[in-house]
Amino acid sequence: MRKVVDAEVGEVRLYCHSARREEKEKGINRRFCERFEAGLAKLAAGLASPRGEKRPALIQERIGKLKQRSFGVGRHYAVTLETNPEGTVVTGLAWEQQPVAGTMLTDPGVYCLRSSGPETAQSA
Protein backbone atom coordinates (compact mmCIF):
# COMPACT_ATOMS: atom_id res chain seq x y z
CA MET A 1 0.00 0.00 0.00
CA ARG A 2 1.27 3.47 -0.88
CA LYS A 3 -0.18 6.83 0.16
CA VAL A 4 0.08 9.84 -2.16
CA VAL A 5 -1.04 13.29 -1.01
CA ASP A 6 -1.91 15.80 -3.72
CA ALA A 7 -2.27 19.13 -1.89
CA GLU A 8 -2.83 21.03 -5.13
CA VAL A 9 -6.02 19.09 -5.87
CA GLY A 10 -6.81 18.43 -2.22
CA GLU A 11 -7.02 14.67 -2.37
CA VAL A 12 -5.32 11.63 -0.93
CA ARG A 13 -4.80 8.50 -3.04
CA LEU A 14 -4.09 5.08 -1.58
CA TYR A 15 -2.61 2.58 -4.04
CA CYS A 16 -3.35 -0.95 -2.86
CA HIS A 17 -2.44 -4.41 -4.12
CA SER A 18 -4.60 -7.52 -3.96
CA ALA A 19 -3.19 -10.96 -4.78
CA ARG A 20 -6.63 -12.33 -5.70
CA ARG A 21 -7.33 -9.37 -7.95
CA GLU A 22 -3.89 -9.83 -9.53
CA GLU A 23 -4.70 -13.43 -10.49
CA LYS A 24 -8.06 -12.37 -11.91
CA GLU A 25 -6.56 -9.51 -13.95
CA LYS A 26 -3.74 -11.71 -15.26
CA GLY A 27 -6.34 -14.15 -16.57
CA ILE A 28 -8.34 -11.36 -18.19
CA ASN A 29 -5.22 -9.86 -19.76
CA ARG A 30 -4.06 -13.23 -21.07
CA ARG A 31 -7.44 -13.92 -22.66
CA PHE A 32 -7.66 -10.50 -24.35
CA CYS A 33 -4.04 -10.71 -25.58
CA GLU A 34 -4.68 -14.16 -27.05
CA ARG A 35 -7.80 -12.89 -28.84
CA PHE A 36 -5.98 -9.86 -30.21
CA GLU A 37 -3.02 -11.92 -31.43
CA ALA A 38 -5.40 -14.48 -32.98
CA GLY A 39 -7.09 -11.65 -34.89
CA LEU A 40 -3.72 -10.38 -36.11
CA ALA A 41 -2.73 -13.92 -37.14
CA LYS A 42 -5.97 -14.24 -39.09
CA LEU A 43 -5.21 -10.98 -40.92
CA ALA A 44 -1.69 -12.20 -41.66
CA ALA A 45 -3.02 -15.52 -42.96
CA GLY A 46 -5.38 -13.62 -45.26
CA LEU A 47 -2.38 -11.96 -46.88
CA ALA A 48 -1.17 -15.37 -48.06
CA SER A 49 -4.48 -16.42 -49.57
CA PRO A 50 -5.12 -15.46 -53.21
CA ARG A 51 -8.42 -13.72 -52.49
CA GLY A 52 -7.41 -12.16 -49.18
CA GLU A 53 -7.43 -8.40 -48.72
CA LYS A 54 -4.04 -6.82 -49.38
CA ARG A 55 -4.72 -3.08 -49.68
CA PRO A 56 -2.87 -1.17 -46.92
CA ALA A 57 -5.75 1.19 -46.11
CA LEU A 58 -8.21 -1.64 -45.57
CA ILE A 59 -5.72 -3.69 -43.56
CA GLN A 60 -5.13 -0.64 -41.32
CA GLU A 61 -8.89 -0.27 -40.94
CA ARG A 62 -9.23 -3.91 -39.89
CA ILE A 63 -6.41 -3.52 -37.39
CA GLY A 64 -8.21 -0.47 -35.99
CA LYS A 65 -11.45 -2.43 -35.63
CA LEU A 66 -9.55 -5.23 -33.94
CA LYS A 67 -8.01 -2.77 -31.47
CA GLN A 68 -11.44 -1.30 -30.80
CA ARG A 69 -12.85 -4.76 -29.95
CA SER A 70 -9.91 -5.72 -27.74
CA PHE A 71 -10.84 -3.64 -24.66
CA GLY A 72 -7.64 -1.59 -24.54
CA VAL A 73 -5.16 -4.43 -25.10
CA GLY A 74 -4.38 -3.15 -28.61
CA ARG A 75 -2.48 -0.15 -27.26
CA HIS A 76 0.10 -2.55 -25.84
CA TYR A 77 1.08 -3.78 -29.31
CA ALA A 78 3.19 -2.25 -32.07
CA VAL A 79 1.78 -3.48 -35.39
CA THR A 80 3.74 -2.90 -38.60
CA LEU A 81 2.74 -3.52 -42.19
CA GLU A 82 5.28 -4.66 -44.75
CA THR A 83 4.39 -3.49 -48.26
CA ASN A 84 5.74 -3.88 -51.77
CA PRO A 85 8.09 -1.11 -53.03
CA GLU A 86 5.16 0.83 -54.52
CA GLY A 87 3.24 0.65 -51.24
CA THR A 88 0.09 -0.69 -52.89
CA VAL A 89 0.06 -4.27 -51.60
CA VAL A 90 0.68 -5.52 -48.05
CA THR A 91 3.11 -8.41 -48.11
CA GLY A 92 3.48 -9.06 -44.39
CA LEU A 93 2.18 -8.19 -40.97
CA ALA A 94 4.32 -8.11 -37.83
CA TRP A 95 3.48 -7.26 -34.25
CA GLU A 96 5.30 -6.96 -30.97
CA GLN A 97 3.92 -6.60 -27.47
CA GLN A 98 5.09 -3.36 -25.82
CA PRO A 99 3.27 -2.97 -22.48
CA VAL A 100 2.41 0.57 -21.43
CA ALA A 101 3.58 1.32 -17.89
CA GLY A 102 0.99 1.97 -15.19
CA THR A 103 -1.77 -0.12 -16.74
CA MET A 104 -3.55 -3.31 -15.74
CA LEU A 105 -1.21 -5.25 -18.00
CA THR A 106 1.97 -4.08 -16.26
CA ASP A 107 0.58 -3.69 -12.72
CA PRO A 108 -2.13 -6.32 -12.21
CA GLY A 109 -3.89 -6.28 -8.87
CA VAL A 110 -3.19 -2.62 -8.12
CA TYR A 111 -6.13 -0.32 -7.48
CA CYS A 112 -6.53 3.24 -6.21
CA LEU A 113 -8.75 4.61 -3.45
CA ARG A 114 -9.27 8.37 -3.68
CA SER A 115 -10.51 10.68 -0.96
CA SER A 116 -11.07 14.39 -1.15
CA GLY A 117 -12.47 17.03 1.13
CA PRO A 118 -11.27 19.62 3.65
CA GLU A 119 -10.64 17.08 6.42
CA THR A 120 -8.61 14.86 4.10
CA ALA A 121 -6.28 17.63 2.96
CA GLN A 122 -5.65 18.76 6.56
CA SER A 123 -5.05 15.31 8.03
CA ALA A 124 -2.67 14.32 5.25
Please name the residue ranges forming H helices in 10-114: 19-48, 56-69
Which is nearest to 1 in space by CA: 111, 95, 122?
Answer: 111
Q: What is the mean pLDDT of the chain?
A: 88
Which is nearest to 96 in space by CA: 37, 30, 29?
Answer: 37
Coil vs helix vs strand at 113: strand
Q: pLDDT-based confidence at 117, cuts 50/70/90?
A: low
Q: pLDDT-based confidence at 5, cuts 50/70/90?
A: confident
pTM of the predicted structure, to 2 decimals = 0.78
Rg (CA), the chain: 21
Judged against a pLDDT cut of 60, whether residue 118 lies above it is answered with no
pLDDT tens string 36-71 = 999 999 999 999 898 888 999 999 999 999 999 988
Judged against a pLDDT cut of 70, whether residue 8 lies above it is answered with yes
pLDDT tens string 88-105 = 999 999 999 999 998 888
